[in-house]
Amino acid sequence: MLVYFLYLTICELKHSPRRETIFPVFNVLMIFVGIAADYFAARQQVVSYLTITIASGSLFYYIWLHLRFVREHERALMAEQRIQIMMTQIQPHFLYNTLSTIQVLCRIDPKKAFDTTEKFGMYLRQNIDSLSQPDLIPIQKELEHTKIYADIEMIRFHNVRVGYDINDDSFSVPALTVQPIV
């Protein structure tokens, strides 16, 4: 049974960080050492080494489970925060105003309405894609998203112009962080 447990733990090494998987491997090895110590010490010991290793192994196993729980909890919190960021990004008034703008453009400039609809679709798609981005993204990608937003807003407000003066673009930022500034 211990060998099977060790096998399952080693198989799990592929899916989780190595630091975290050391606890169950250490537990199994400690139990083997306790069995060997009990076997070679015969009847001279007062306390069974196996009892000590199982008690300490249980403690290590609890720590391992706790670390896994904390990591899963952090992932859930990050997912919830991404959803909240997206909801603040897609503000209802922006949605309604963009749809109203497209509606007006359908009557006066169908080609521009078509282009605006395409940009709006790209904007929404990029917001949804940002939910699956756990890491930082290149600033170029974030600026591309912001430019789409600014283009839509410039269609609504003809007197507004947005200029870009980017001196350095070799860094990363969290997704959906530049557009609120604009």
Q: Residue 71 above 80 pLDDT?
A: yes
**What is residue 180's predicted lDDT score, i.e. its pLDDT?**
76
Would you kindly state where each structural domain of the chain is located, as residue ranges? Answer: 2-77, 90-173
Tokens at 79, concatenated: 């997912």
Please give the average per-residue pLDDT across 107-118, as a whole number. 94
Q: Residue 103 above 70 pLDDT?
A: yes
**What is residue 89's predicted lDDT score, i.e. its pLDDT?**
61
CB 133 within 8 A of CB 176: no
Tokens at 139, concatenated: 């600033």
Average pLDDT, the chain: 81
**What is residue 121's predicted lDDT score, i.e. its pLDDT?**
93
Within 8 A by CB and 6+ apart from 117, the residues are 102
CB 178 within 8 A of CB 143: yes
Please report, for residues 22, 27, 75, 127, 129, the alpha-carbon distance to residue 16 in angstroms, rounded to integers and kept in the order given: 11, 17, 14, 28, 24
Please report, for residues 43, 49, 52, the alpha-carbon distance to residue 46 in angstroms, rounded to integers and kept in the order given: 8, 9, 12
Residue with tokens 């400039």: 109
The single-letter code of the amino acid at 170 is S
DSSP secondary structure letters along 23-50: HHHHHHHHHHHHHHHHHHHTT--SS-HH
**What is residue 16's predicted lDDT score, i.e. its pLDDT?**
64
Please give the average per-residue pLDDT across 130-157, as a whole number. 86
Residue 20 or 140, more confident? 140
The single-letter code of the amino acid at 53 is T
Q: Which of 1-10, 32-41, 84-93 has the highest mean pLDDT?
A: 32-41
CB 163 within 8 A of CB 134: no
